[in-house]
Structure 1
């Protein structure tokens, strides 16, 4: 089943995406995600039939009530963990790879949630859960931006009739990056505690969201879906390419030594190419210095009645164009 929308002219969207490019005199040429060598021992292919996740509920909701609810959930292979800020999806399960996936793939990962806010306490407001790849800790360090890191993932979009009946963001694919910036620091204790601004390490989370406009809510004749980019220099999200076909998609982001983030997407499971380019940005006006990891967002209405859309991902990979230090790598043409 396909999204019933206007025919998809991806090439024209790529040509039009020039309007999204951050205008910076020293910006470097974008690097296609997946360029270089794969970093071994991070990310996942979900091929192990014994793959499992230990949730350790109730999940963390630090973003809502400052409650981390340790211990955090972990995958049995040590490659994924629950996000401290928002907690993990309610369901994290290895499933058989849907039709049309990567050749030879037998397993993929399905995620969905009902309570994306406080556990069993619906808020009737959109919230999101995080599922975080254990990249930084398995490598034992962050990747420097000079190594030109990138991440790719395949995402399966189910038929529109199976999506949560809600307009707004449904899914996110994001990076965790670091830079040096003015940050708010707390000093002192008790009644003497105060805040001040000083230079420090700042973590930020650019990414691509799958946004849905439900025709029953918009009053338009058709449902509409598109990729939303986070973010421009002012920290604002903006509309990217329209999504007019369900099934498998390939998403990717790369970071170049100038600190710029580059966004790519394409229907299907083929490797990304220059033709799949969307935009290049300095999100929040930051220049990336270090790459920590990547993660997924699962969003829902948090109404205690409706499940989120079931999102299926497969074969996320981390690459470096110029890896340094002791990192196990694998060439792209090696057998999966």
Structure 2
């Protein structure tokens, strides 16, 4: 009886701890969001920032009467969409990284493992190439990137689906094959672009520069809805992570659950890559940090990863646009900081095992 009480007590304490961590992360995101809108070379006070946001949300033009149009444009049309995209993309990459690591039972899996990012990059590069050499009026890059990612997803699933069965190893191998072919296509278009290749390279490095409300409207509903789908089926994902045979013996429809998570995580990745380019290490590091320090239960891990991913990418984007005279693509910042940090986690994990 006492053991049972201790177990319940420990469970409640762990649940409270996770709620506290989630609340702290959410508070930091809100604080950093307000601070980020105020950061930049234009001199805009926090009170003006709050007035602009409140006035735009409530459609109260009287509040904006004593603020210049240039300041309103900077806050509402330039800074705020970029900050929101950073939050949503960080959220999405972290969620899809958590799902892929559990789904593929591979701690090194990330949102780009099965080649969806390469498909998005290929679509975007095609759009950039068309804009440079073919059309006078530029076409939007985001739809092309999204379509490229979706095409890659279904191609990988088709290749990996052997006799109606789709294993984790088949998905990874299929992703590598398709990704290699598309990477060759990207290299070909880069070579064919000649002196204009810088536009392609800049997009491939991952950047949140010049994001608009159109991209916010595209990314927000898709990422949020699919995140809730992942959380809803998270207990089945926990069981599936134990192994195919064990999951089946416990009554989980492994084919259905695998398809739900594969499509959900891939669509999240597709949206993120289509609006931001390729931003590395967020989806790889964030699940590791939380899994080793707090919990491996996907029901808690997925929302916590979403919050921490948002916070880290927003912080990295502030570094990229504020600390340097020339803006550095945020994908470069996340790789520079994420790479060494992941090496540290990997070495620490190996020492603990020994």
For normalisation by structure 1, the TM-score amounts to 0.25
Give the number of the structure whose alpha-carbon radius of gyration is greater.
2
Structure that is richer in helix per residue = 2
For normalisation by structure 2, the TM-score amounts to 0.24
